[in-house]
Structure 1
Amino acid sequence: MTLRCDLIIRDATLIDGTGGPRRRGDIGVTGDRIVVIGDLGAASADREVMAEGRVVAPGFIDAHTHDDQAVLCGPACMLCKTSQGVTTVVVGNCGISLAPVAMSERPPPPLDGVCLPEWWIFDSFAAYAERLEKTPSAVNTFALIGHMSLRVGAMGRDLDRPATDAEAERMRKWLAEALAEGAAGLSTGLFYAPSKHAPTDEVIAVAEALREHKGLYVTHMRDEADGVLDSIEETLRIGQSVGAPVVISHHKCAQPENHGRSKETLPLIERHAMRYPVAFDMYPYTASSTSLGARKPRPDVKVTVATSVPHPEMAGRDLFEVAEEWGVSAEEAAARLMPGGGVFHNMAEEDIRRIMAHPLSMIGSDGGPNAKHPHPRLWGTFPRVLGPYSRDLGLFDLETAVHKMTGRTAAVFGIPDRGVLREGAFADLVLFDAATVRDRATFTEPRQVADGILETWVNGQSVYTHAAGASDTPAGRLLHRQAAA
């Protein structure tokens, strides 16, 4: 009997996500799974795609996003990701998650910039998961619970102090309930005002819930600048105290005086990784993006306004030019623009390349989907790694680039049957042209679809083609963590 599939992609260069060598072949999909890989000359399908030697890889897993709200807004809202070949997003990062705390008034920054005030309506993770099931996204969602959200729920606006034992226990209980309902771990954003007064012991007390549920500890560390080494040590202390694998978010060496210090940070992380599970994600840009109030402006760091609630017309403008126009200091201008976000050009290319090339790295965009003038990483991260860094600069081969976006990420987060091309795995796939793939999003024109990403499938369904754009197919699902035995 002739094998028949729903979809066959023929004559593809298959890069399987493991880091192993590419090979030529066909791939057959039925339902939501890859059913066969090899020479499918005798098979037929409802739809056949001729790859003509172009690459088929597992769909990319965005290790660090703030798409908590975007995944609830319909398939078209995820064009910024599906057009990059992203099929799964990790949400709830930097201590900020839409669940499990509902908020009746505007939350403090940076929570109010990551998710708009009217979206803070979910008083449990189960309620968030139910909404996601009713209005599925184009991509899969893997969710963390934010310590900052828990802290605001337990402490109100009285955040400039450590939590009491009772408040920490309330946070721990909420986290435990969310983990039981399908969340995958705890994230922190100890750099930010709502959490910076949380001592290490408070975080450990809350994170105790991870032990029973085998959850992850993911962190925007307390300091990515002068105190970056101490922050790495604190991060590992927290993870080890509760037996949770550690992921360091968007690893960087921020501010000009710390450029080059990845020569110190990476060996330190390596030493920890020899005895404890630790990984990190990063994005391929020398500029960060966060709340305008997160860092004091300084003349040697260019700042572009990404969004401003009181002055939306200033999005895309240079902060120092705005300050001059208003006749005030840059610090006062930033205050006037709040609530708002900015792009901070505070990293060095040498560190970006060193961190990206490191074997422990994964790729995450950390994009801000609600910004009027977003950082280009929202639209360009994954093609930028594949094209300019892998192909053009030769920082690593294409197999390694794909591995950092797929198989490695799935293994670190414990996402079963994703991130690899193999029979029986879910059919999260991307077809791209290795010769032409590249980012087109720039700091001046950030909302640009990449070149060379030809088609993206999620759970066997096409969600994007370069020719037609985003489909309206709600193919995504909520994914759950499977902890290592």
Structure 2
Amino acid sequence: MAVPVTGAYVESLLATCASVEFFAGGVVLELRDAVSLSVKSEEYDFVVLYAQIDRLSGCSDWIDLSFVERERTPPQLMERGIRLHFAGFSLSNTVRKLEKFGVEHSRKSIHDWVHKCDLQPAADIDPNHIALDKTVVQINDYWYWLYTAVEPEANKTLHIRLYLTATADLTEWFLRESLEDGAVGLSTGLVYSPQFNATTEEIRALGERLVPYRRPYVAHIRNERFEIWEAFDEFMDIGAELGIPLHHSHFKVTGPPLYETAERATDLMRYARDRGIDYTADQYPYTAGSTMLQALLPPWVKTGDSTETVELLRDSETRQQIKADIENWRLDNWHNPGPYTGWENIAIASLESETNEHCLGRSIASIANERDSNPVFVVCDLLIEEDLQVTITLHQLREESVQHIVRDELVSVGTDGLFGSGKPHPRVYGTFPKILEKYVREESLLSLEEVVRKMTSLPARIMGLSNKGLIRPGMDADLVVFDPRLVSTTADYENPRRYPKGIPHVLVNGEFVVCDNEVTGALPGQTIRA
């Protein structure tokens, strides 16, 4: 069973295990057949006797190999491969494990072995006995939640069950539990994979769960380019039909085709409010956005785990298909940010290693020219070389559009910041002081009082945080002390990791975390719940 475990929990497990195999992201524990291992769950009030579950132990009696015909692989190794994959190893990792024993098989072969085994639970068990074990397994390119069914009173393990991670029922269950536990709302990034594949009906079904709580639906809308107006309609229709608050993440209009449409976009917010929708937005005050380099790949490339994505990027035939999809705009409804923004306008912001450090701050077009390669292949190669951990900055906005949006009373301030080494977007360090410096003090675009509202009480109201956003008795003492004559940012695209000036004090829950321009080291913050 693939379980993320640490500390004393690890020690108690290791003491009862016949063998342990480590891999990226967790461990596989093979329990002794005769051992009953009791593990107290932090989330539930029962004890699970994992050793009673044959499929999660070293026992292989549950594996029926009667389907095998003319198979040269020793049965013991077939059983081992099935157990490893069922425990959480990807097909690729399972193949590599078997190669150590001199067994060479394709991922499809491993999948066929697992698929032909009986993985279904008994049909007569009360589903109320199912408890989530927070483990995901992969079978035939589909991901499943692994559940353990227990009888709490008898402290007895009944069986295990697999549920597709993508099922609407399970997603709704998670959302309902989260809302009960204080989640401030529901957020989606429909422009990104895998949420790109979610239908309007599925999003609406999740939105219905918000109705009793009056919590907001927060969305990075499905498209910010050619289909932006259809994406607006989808978002607004959900809010209007369900009567739930809507919050539009990092509101903007991107690329030359939309440079003249900022007023139309803000008019749509007014139209939404005329329809009775509590519609708000947030914005960062820069003409560039930022995201992961993976976002430049077609959605179908990112359907497996990270290991499988990298393998796809290495495959020459797959690379040609990726190139054709991007350069020829072959995928409907996908915004294709690479060509739309322009390879010369997309710069590398952060990397996982120092190998490609010379690429930081440089455009994809520049790197492609240096490597005498195609920009799409540069994207693929950098992702391979950096194990997918690359962020980018996309210069795709116009200052006039930014200023028009920032003036709107429904738009709050947000960084949308991606931390990281290298040259992250300067908005991480500079968003709030830049607005105070540029749009208040220098250009008088906004009053100081209005900007303070956009940074404090407005976002607190949007997220339903009744104890934040204002200074009055009984409110949380989260305070920022700044000098409006001096507050400024020196962070820019070349040197983004610079702290602001003119902010001498910051208090969280009434305790100084910055005092006289020095970080105190205090950590008084707490989890925020609705």
The reply to whether TM is greater than 0.5 is yes
Residue 512 of structure 2 corresponds to which residue in structure 1? 462
Residue 264 of structure 1 corresponds to which residue in structure 2? 264
Q: What are the residue-to-residue correspondences of 1:282-431 with 2, within 5 Å? A: 282-294=283-295, 295-297=337-339, 299=342, 302-309=345-352, 311-313=355-357, 314-338=359-383, 339=388, 340-431=390-481
Q: What are the residue-to-residue correspondences of 1:69-468 with 2, within 5 Å? A: 158=142, 167-274=167-274, 275-294=276-295, 295-297=337-339, 299=342, 302-309=345-352, 311-313=355-357, 314-338=359-383, 339=388, 340-465=390-515, 467-468=517-518
The code of the aligned residue for 2:349 comes to A
TM-score normalised by the chain length of structure 1: 0.64
Alpha-carbon distance, 1:213 to partner: 3.1
Secondary structure of the equivalent of 2:291? strand
Cα distance in 1 for residues equivalent to 2:200 and 2:42? 25
Q: CA offsets, 1:426-473, max 9 Å, x none?
A: 2111111111111111101111010111111111100013532x2211
Cα distance in 2 for residues equivalent to 1:336 and 1:463? 42
Work out whether residues 260 and 348 of structure 1, in 8 Å CA contact, stay in contact via their aligned partners in 2. no
Secondary structure of the equivalent of 1:238? helix
The code of the aligned residue for 1:244 comes to I
Alpha-carbon distance, 1:155 to partner: 10
Kindly tell me: are residues 154 and 398 of structure 1, through their superposed partners in 2, closer, same or farther at Cα, counting changes over 3 Å? farther
Kindly tell me: are residues 327 and 247 of structure 1, through their superposed partners in 2, closer, same or farther at Cα, counting changes over 3 Å? same
Cα distance in 1 for residues equivalent to 2:405 and 2:140? 38
Secondary structure of the equivalent of 2:210? helix
Residue 88 of structure 2 corresponds to which residue in structure 1? none
Alpha-carbon distance, 1:300 to partner: 7.1
Alpha-carbon distance, 1:157 to partner: 5.7
Q: CA offsets, 1:392-449, max 9 Å, x none?
A: 0111110011010011111111111211122332211111111111111110111101
Alpha-carbon distance, 1:315 to partner: 2.7
Secondary structure of the equivalent of 1:380? helix
5+ residue gaps in structure 1? 1-103, 107-122, 127-149
Secondary structure of the equivalent of 2:167? helix
Cα distance in 1 for residues equivalent to 2:219 and 2:249? 5
Work out whether residues 368 and 375 of structure 2, in 8 Å CA contact, stay in contact via their aligned partners in 1. yes
Cα distance in 2 for residues equivalent to 1:156 and 1:396? 55
Secondary structure of the equivalent of 1:457? strand
Percent identical across equivalent pairs? Answer: 31
Cα distance in 2 for residues equivalent to 1:422 and 1:395? 28
Alpha-carbon distance, 1:125 to partner: 9.8
The code of the aligned residue for 2:350 comes to T
Kindly tell me: are residues 168 and 342 of structure 1, through their superposed partners in 2, closer, same or farther at Cα, counting changes over 3 Å? same
Alpha-carbon distance, 1:241 to partner: 3.6
Alpha-carbon distance, 1:306 to partner: 1.2
Work out whether residues 341 and 371 of structure 1, in 8 Å CA contact, stay in contact via their aligned partners in 2. no
Work out whether residues 503 and 517 of structure 2, in 8 Å CA contact, stay in contact via their aligned partners in 1. no
Alpha-carbon distance, 1:312 to partner: 4.5
Work out whether residues 243 and 277 of structure 2, in 8 Å CA contact, stay in contact via their aligned partners in 1. no
Work out whether residues 169 and 205 of structure 1, in 8 Å CA contact, stay in contact via their aligned partners in 2. no
Secondary structure of the equivalent of 1:296? helix
The code of the aligned residue for 2:463 comes to F
Kindly tell me: are residues 442 and 124 of structure 1, through their superposed partners in 2, closer, same or farther at Cα, counting changes over 3 Å? farther
Cα distance in 2 for residues equivalent to 1:173 and 1:384? 41
Q: What are the residue-to-residue correspondences of 1:3-42 with 2, within 5 Å? A: none
The code of the aligned residue for 1:471 comes to T
Cα distance in 2 for residues equivalent to 1:277 and 1:309? 41
Residue 154 of structure 2 corresponds to which residue in structure 1? none
Cα distance in 2 for residues equivalent to 1:379 and 1:404? 18
The code of the aligned residue for 2:370 comes to E
Alpha-carbon distance, 1:332 to partner: 1.5
Bigger helix fraction: 2
**Paired residues, what number?**
334
Looking at CA atoms only, which structure, 1 or 2, has the larger radius of gyration? 2
Kindly tell me: are residues 306 and 214 of structure 1, through their superposed partners in 2, closer, same or farther at Cα, counting changes over 3 Å? same
Alpha-carbon distance, 1:172 to partner: 0.6
Secondary structure of the equivalent of 2:445? coil
Cα distance in 2 for residues equivalent to 1:328 and 1:219? 36
Work out whether residues 482 and 502 of structure 2, in 8 Å CA contact, stay in contact via their aligned partners in 1. yes
Cα distance in 1 for residues equivalent to 2:43 and 2:289? 29
Cα distance in 1 for residues equivalent to 2:509 and 2:140? 40
- Runs of 4 or more, structure 1, over 4 Å off, are 123-126, 152-159, 163-166
The code of the aligned residue for 1:308 comes to L
The farther-off stretch of 240-249 and 390-399 is: 240-249
Residue 129 of structure 1 corresponds to which residue in structure 2? none
Kindly tell me: are residues 250 and 303 of structure 1, through their superposed partners in 2, closer, same or farther at Cα, counting changes over 3 Å? same
Cα distance in 1 for residues equivalent to 2:347 and 2:215? 36
Alpha-carbon distance, 1:301 to partner: 5.2
Alpha-carbon distance, 1:330 to partner: 1.6
The code of the aligned residue for 1:397 comes to S
Secondary structure of the equivalent of 1:290? strand
The farther-off stretch of 401-410 and 308-317 is: 308-317
The code of the aligned residue for 1:464 comes to V
